[in-house]
Amino acid sequence: MTALEIRYTANALPDAADALSFMTREVRWIETMRARKTASFGLPYNYSGQAYAACEMPPVIASIRARAAALAAHPFNNCLCNLYETGRNTMGFHQDSYEGLVPSSLIAIASLGATRTLVFRSIDRARVVAVPLEHGSILLMNETTQREWQHAVKREPDAGLRVSLTFRQIATQREQGPENEVSEPFADRSVTSRRSQRFAARAPYKLG
């Protein structure tokens, strides 16, 4: 069974308090899901049966994206946001789909507000790893982790409001200008594997 390859950076966002205030006041949240509210910025993206249209990233989100991209060492062109108004808002166990993503894309989760625990469960259900996601942190996951593990945000009744911003690199070129261009060929698995190896070598949470 493959190790859990994730990288967690606490205090990654110096302006986290202002960003949380922006996300709660300025974002128009979509209410199509029962368990939480969502919003998407950047390129259009389909997630969990919901089609999100293209939407320019406001500067606050673009600056979080820049921080996540620096940690991931590659650009992101979509940000799917989740609003957990209380600890009763959740996300069930799932693997993020790589359909439409650059295969070597890492997925970044930036967290604002109350700490919620991201629970990883190996596909064979033999192992569980709980990672508290603190205000201002960024967690990176790679494609191997998506293939071999599921993750969830479970109910934590005492938790307060939390926003997560999840960044992905969608395999679409040119539409958004040079800063969002996919810098590598979509189907080049050798790049995927080199990026994954580099990530795995540096992942402090490499458990296995």
Angle between helices 16-26 and 59-72 (to 10 degrees): 130
Total Cβ atoms within 10 A of residue 118:
21
Pick between residue 94 and residue 202 the one whose CB is nearest to ligand AKG: 94
By beta carbon distance, the residue nearest ligand AKG is 164
CB of residue 190 vs ligand AKG: minimum separation in angstroms?
27
Pick between residue 12 and residue 133 the one whose CB is nearest to ligand AKG: 133
Pick between residue 155 and residue 194 the one whose CB is nearest to ligand AKG: 155
Structure tokens that stand for 59 in this block: 């500067």
CB of residue 54 vs ligand AKG: minimum separation in angstroms?
19
Q: List residues binding ligand AKG (CB under 6 A).
A: 80, 82, 91, 96, 109, 118, 133, 151, 153, 164, 166
H or E element: which one contains 70? helix 59-72
Pick between residue 95 and residue 183 the one whose CB is nearest to ligand AKG: 95
Q: Tell me the C-alpha distance between 35 and 153, whole Å.
A: 11
CB of residue 198 vs ligand AKG: minimum separation in angstroms?
23
Pick between residue 162 and residue 195 the one whose CB is nearest to ligand AKG: 162
Give 69-74's long-range contacts (Cβ < 8 A, gap of 24+): 69/167, 71/7, 71/9, 71/12, 71/108, 71/138, 71/140, 72/106, 72/108, 72/140, 72/167, 73/198, 74/104, 74/105, 74/106, 74/169, 74/183, 74/195
CB of residue 160 vs ligand AKG: minimum separation in angstroms?
14
* DSSP codes of every residue in 88-145: T--EEEE----TTB-TT--EEEEEEES-EEEEEEETTS--EEEEEE-TT-EEEE-HHH
Pick between residue 47 and residue 181 the one whose CB is nearest to ligand AKG: 47
